[in-house]
Every structure is written in structure tokens, then in C-alpha cells.
């Protein structure tokens, strides 16, 4: 669907289904941990890079241009100005949300541990806080996924796969420390899955807030803003996580691969 085309019930249902799939994919990461299939650092870095490539490419090549075109239908030649402004408004919005989350809940580093008991304590805290932080961040991400899925159905599946890929390592990030701290691998997998449920909640909240005002201008602004949100998430969440693996070359390879796959899929589907 493009801006200016009425939203159909089927489109909303598909968008919610895609958002739910993307959200619960954190459970796949938890399942990997429960099955003791620990991903290598190269795999994690490459997966994060692939997700980054897909999200950045689709944001700049598909979502932002769609937003500008939709706004152009309303404001004419000023469409690019409003579109770019909405893009950076999305960046500012997610950045402010990120900064408002207290540091104890939104840790950027896992503290070092000196003893086995302290290590377990740190692992427990890290797992719990990571789960909370991921849930908080997934709320606006769920809205972003939902709005993206309301767009051209031909790009909905790649978006869902990209979000799912980037959520799998998040599930691992939640489940690993909880498993190590408690020894309860399936409980850890369950908490990893639960952390992703904030995405469909974010989609529902965004839908209820915007639906009364939905039209070419609203969709155009939403597409452009979501592009900014997704680009910020890629560089604020995925890039640091990949660098922390120590395999930054595999991250870059993943980025290029993700962009190539996304570009090929758009060419084939268009």
C-alpha cells in the first residue's frame, strides 16, 4: 500500500501478524540457548550486520522515498523537505526514548565479575535488565514494524525477516545470562520470548493513536519517521552489539550481504 490508498482490514491484519512474528522471534534466540546451541561470535556479528543492511537499505531506498512521495501529494514540491524533517524527527524521537530509560534499566555494558557468586549475580541482573531494556525499545520498534508492513506488501516479508533476524540475538542476549545465573534454560527461553511481546503492543498502541488521522499526509510522515527510527536502531543497538563480539569484519560482510539481498528482492518484487 502507498500513501493515499485507503487502509483495508486485511492490510491491518497482515501488519499485526508480521509484527507479532517479528516480536516473538526473540523466542528463537531463547530456544537456541535452551538447546545449548550457542551461536559463535562470527555468526552473531554477521546476523546483526545482515539485519542492519536490510533495515538501513529499506529505510533509505523504500520507506523514506515512499514517505516523500506521499507528502508530495499533499504539499507538492515541499514534500522532500517535510519527508526529511520527519525522518530526523523519528531519529530524535527514538533517541529521546533511549535517553529517558534510566541507566540501571538500559545498561550499555555488563559489569565485570570477580568471583563465581558475583558472576552469577551479575548474570542475573544483566539478563533481567537486558530483558526490560529490550522490551522498552521494542515498543516503538513494534510500531515501526507495523507501519512498515502497512506499506507496499511486496516489502513486508523482507522487513519481517530483517526484524526477526535482529530480534534473535536479542533473545540470546536475554536468555544466556539468565540461564547461567539460574540454570533454568527453559525459563530463560520463556523470558526471552516475553521480552519481544512489546512489539505487537507497540503496534496496537500506534494503530489506535493514528488510525483516526490516517491519510496521505499521516502515512507519508509515518513512513519517513519510521525510516529514521529504523536507521537509529541499526546504528545504536545493532552496531555496538556487533562490535562487542570482536568480529567487526563479519558485521560489515553481513551489512553488505543484507543490502544486496534487500536490493535484489526489491528488484524481483517490483
Q: At what angle do helices 41-58 and 156-182 cross, to 10 degrees?
A: 150
Annotate 171-186 with DSSP letters as a single string: HHHHHHHHHHHH--HH
Q: Decide which of 115 and 168 is more confident.
A: 168
Diameter over CA atoms, the chain = 64
Binding site annotation covers 167? yes
With bands split at pLDDT 50, 70 and 90, how would you rate the model's confidence at 110? very low
Mean pLDDT of 151-159: 65
Residues 68-93 have pLDDT tens digits of: 998 998 888 999 999 999 999 989 98
Q: Give the other-Cβ count within 10 Å of 165's Cβ.
A: 23
The grid cell for 174 is 536475554
Distance separating alpha carbons of residues 162 and 53, to the nearest angstrom = 9
Binding site annotation covers 8? no
Q: Decide which of 138 and 246 is more confident.
A: 246
Query: Is the separation of the CB atoms in 49 and 242 below 8 Å?
Result: yes
pLDDT the model gives residue 113: 43
List alpha helices for 101-235, DSSP H.
116-150, 156-182, 185-195, 198-210, 216-233
| pLDDT above 50 for 191 | yes
Binding site annotation covers 138? yes
Residues 20-49 have pLDDT tens digits of: 888 888 888 788 777 765 667 887 788 778
**Mean pLDDT lowest among 147-151, 230-234, 253-257:** 147-151
Binding site annotation covers 199? yes
Three-class DSSP labels, 19-63: HHHHHHCHHHHHHHHHCCCCCCHHHHHHHHHHHHHHHHHHHHHHH
Residue with cell 530509560: 101
In the chain, where the domains are located? 9-269
Amino acid at each position: 500500500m502507498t500513501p493515499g490508498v485507503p487502509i483495508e482490514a486485511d492490510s491491518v491484519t497482515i501488519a499485526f501478524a508480521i509484527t507479532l512474528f517479528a516480536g516473538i522471534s526473540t523466542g528463537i534466540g531463547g530456544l537456541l540457548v535452551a538447546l545449548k546451541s550457542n551461536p559463535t561470535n562470527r555468526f552473531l556479528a554477521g546476523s546483526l550486520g545482515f539485519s542492519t543492511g536490510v533495515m538501513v537499505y529499506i529505510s533509505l531506498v523504500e520507506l523514506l522515498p515512499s514517505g516523500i512521495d506521499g507528502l508530495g501529494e499533499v504539499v507538492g514540491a515541499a514534500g522532500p523537505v517535510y519527508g526529511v524533517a520527519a525522518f530526523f524527527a523519528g531519529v530524535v524521537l527514538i533517541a529521546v526514548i533511549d535517553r529517558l530509560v534510566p541507566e540501571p534499566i538500559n545498561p550499555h555494558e555488563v559489569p565485570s565479575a570477580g568471583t563465581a557468586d558475583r558472576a552469577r549475580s551479575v548474570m542475573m541482573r544483566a539478563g533481567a535488565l537486558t530483558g526490560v531494556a529490550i522490551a522498552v525499545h521494542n515498543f516503538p520498534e513494534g510500531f515501526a514494524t507495523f507501519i512498515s508492513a502497512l506499506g507496499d506488501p511486496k516489502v513486508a516479508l523482507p522487513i519481517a525477516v530483517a526484524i526477526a533476524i535482529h530480534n534473535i540475538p536479542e533473545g540470546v542476549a536475554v536468555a544466556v545470562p539468565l540461564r547461567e545465573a539460574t540454570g533454568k534454560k527453559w525459563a530463560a527461553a520463556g523470558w526471552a520470548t516475553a521480552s519481544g511481546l512489546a512489539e505487537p503492543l507497540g503496534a496496537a498502541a500506534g494503530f489506535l493513536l493514528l488510525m483516526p488521522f490516517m491519510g496521505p499526509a499521516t502515512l507519508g510522515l509515518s513512513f519517513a519517521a519510521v525510516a529514521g527510527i529504523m536507521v537509529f536502531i541499526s546504528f545504536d543497538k545493532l552496531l555496538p552489539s556487533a562490535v562487542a563480539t570482536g568480529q567487526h569484519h563479519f558485521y560489515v560482510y553481513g551489512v553488505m550481504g543484507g543490502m544486496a539481498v534487500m536490493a535484489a528482492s526489491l528488484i524481483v518484487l517490483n
